[in-house]
Structures are given as structure tokens and as C-alpha cells.
Amino acid sequence: MTVARDIMTPGPRCIGEDDTLVDAARLFESLDVGALPICGTDKRLKGMLTDRDIVVKCLAAGGDPSQTTAGSLAEGKPVTIGADDDVREALRVMQDHQVRRLPVIDGHDLVGILAQADVALALGPGQTGETVAEISEDGH
């Protein structure tokens, strides 16, 4: 059985909940990523921030990215997967929540990020094709 820990990208960088969206955009650029976990001062996961969130939830709404914090865009309880959960469960969670990336949690600690592509490679096209198409339809 392949578990999330086996195929995740370990040691994810976080954007702090009190960091601005300008800080986040610079981190996106330097890491060449489009999504980052939002971590609190207590080192716990507060949510996920995407480059699209900055554009839609801040810029398009007339907000100031130099004054808006990453934490202000964290909504609800973050969707996660356990480090020792089967990758098929990760695929189901991605499908149910229409997300392409899942923070991987071990206890209360963020230990990695699992991307849709990681799961697709691990399971092969027969098991992932329909789910990947369904997730991609919504554009997340």
C-alpha cells in the first residue's frame, strides 16, 4: 500500500499568517510555486494560499496586497490528508473538495504537500484519469 508520506514533497515552505500578500507573491516567485500552506505563529496549518486567491480575493475586490495578510484569506478548516493515509484516500479527498494539492499532516505537524500529479504517477492512469478530469473541470 502506498501512503501519502511515500510520494509527498517533504518539508514544505509556509507563508506566515501575518505575512502580507506581497510577501506571499515574492515567495511564490522565488520557489516557482502557485500555492503555499498558511502557517500560524503556533506553527499549525491555517489554510492554503494560491496565486489565484491573491488575484480574486484581494486585487479584484479592491484590496491592498501590501496590507492584506495571508491569514485573512484562510477560510474554514484546511483540507488535509494524514501522512500514513492511503493515496487512494488522498485522491478521494481531492475529488470531494475539488483541490489539486493537499497538505500532509503527521499528528498536528505539517510534513509535506501531496499534489494531484504525485497521486496520478503513483496510481497510474487507470485509477486516476476520471478523478483528475473531475478536479480539473472546476479549475482549482
Phi-psi region of 98 (alpha: psi -120 to 50; beta: other; left: phi over 0): left
In this prediction, residue 135 carries a pLDDT of 55
Q: Which positions of the chain have pLDDT values less than 70?
A: 125-140
In this prediction, residue 77 carries a pLDDT of 86
What is the CATH number for 52? 3.10.580.10
In this prediction, residue 25 carries a pLDDT of 97
In this prediction, residue 58 carries a pLDDT of 96
Question: 74: which DSSP letter?
Answer: -
In this prediction, residue 54 carries a pLDDT of 96
The three three-digit cell numbers of residue 19, written as one number: 505575512
Task: State the total domains in the chain.
Answer: 1
> In terms of residue numbers, what domain contains 12?
4-137
Burial 37-63 (b: 16+ CB within 10 A, else e): bbbeeeeebbbbbbbebbeebbeeeee
What pLDDT digit, counting tens, does each position of 29-44 carry? 999 999 999 999 887 8
The three three-digit cell numbers of residue 114, written as one number: 501531496
